[in-house]
Chains A and B, each alone.
Chain A
Amino acid sequence: MSAVSSAPEILPLPPFGLRDALGRPVLMRPAGEDVDALVAFYERFDPADRAQGLPPTGSARIRPWLEVLAEGPGVVAWHEDDAVGHAALVPDGAGAHELVVFVLQGFRGTGIGTSLVRALLGLGRARGVIRVWLTVQRWNHAAIAVYRKTGFEREGEEGLEIIMSRSL
């Protein structure tokens, strides 16, 4: 008899809808023709919520940066007509992808970040992404909790940052 293999991890494939912890309807959709909405989303970001130099400030810097993010799969979280979260996998030129995720202040701590990362991993897997890594500041416990919940493991440290990764 063959060994019992563990069931493959089920990752949701966007588009799909859900409700956040406060009951607000949120729609996860693959990123595409929504650049203006994303620029507006990043312009609403409180500078105090920036981490590791991101997101860039001002549309003149946000637009070229979004073009870089668009080189890989991305997912946008929508509430009504507004983007409230965005996550992307950027090819690193070495066969893996770097993950970044941003959630608007008013939607943090409501499970949206976790859902967004899971949706992005599902989309990434469907598009052939194999390995995903990220860097996070050591003291960013909320983000680290999201990454642990979504299957990332600590791979190493670089000064004040932690590197985490997982396979798809």
Chain B
Amino acid sequence: MNVLVVLEPDPDAGAADDALAPLDWVLQRARRASDRITVLLVGLTTGAPAEALEERSTGRLGSWQGIGHVRRLPGEPRREILRVLGHEPWDELVVSGGTRTPAGKLRPGGLAEYLLLNAPVTLTLVR
């Protein structure tokens, strides 16, 4: 499967493990399936949080030689992700399922919700 993983740096959390959850989920599954993984860093693509996230995602992929690569995708995330989705055939788009309120309610978050409604490909929300 040709899998596109979207990661968003969290300016408050640096490269917290939460931000890497979608990639970790895909990598776990990749042990069984022969997925080809492309990681897109969107949103805040410059500065320390983005660099830390890029370094950690590349590190995660590093032990899976040849399985995939990491790319920064500058610009407005919604438009740019749809553009990437239109360029080549993808089997699946994997994004973070968003944050939770103090009481634990899911907040899908702008990007996940937008992609759920607009991405022309199977979407997986990782929680």
Contacts and interface: CB of A to CB of B under 8 A. Distances in A.
A65 interface: yes
8 contacts: A52-B105, A53-B104, A53-B127, A54-B105, A92-B101, A98-B105, A135-B101, A160-B108
A69 interface: yes
Contacts of A159: 108-110, 113
A88 interface: yes
B104 A54 contact: yes
A93 interface: yes
Interface string A91-125: 11100001110000000000000000000000000
Given A53-B104, A160-B113, 10 more contacts: A52-B106, A54-B103, A54-B105, A54-B106, A69-B103, A92-B101, A98-B102, A98-B103, A100-B103, A159-B113
Contacts of B104: 53-54, 56, 65, 68, 100
A100 B108 contact: no
Q: How large is the interface on A (under 10, 10 to 19, 20 to 34, 35 or more residues)?
A: 20 to 34
A20 interface: no
B107 interface: yes
Nearest to B112: A159
B113 A135 contact: no
Contacts, number: 44
A90 interface: yes
Interface of A: 51-54, 56, 65, 68-69, 88, 90-93, 98-100, 135, 158-161
B100 interface: yes
A40 to B, nearest CB: 19
A36 to B, nearest CB: 20
Nearest to A92: B102
Interface in B89-127: 100-110, 113, 127
Contact of A88 (B103, B106, B108): B103
A135 B102 contact: no
Nearest to A161: B107
Contacts of A92: 101-102
A160 B113 CA distance: 8
A123 to B, nearest CB: 16
B107 A158 contact: yes
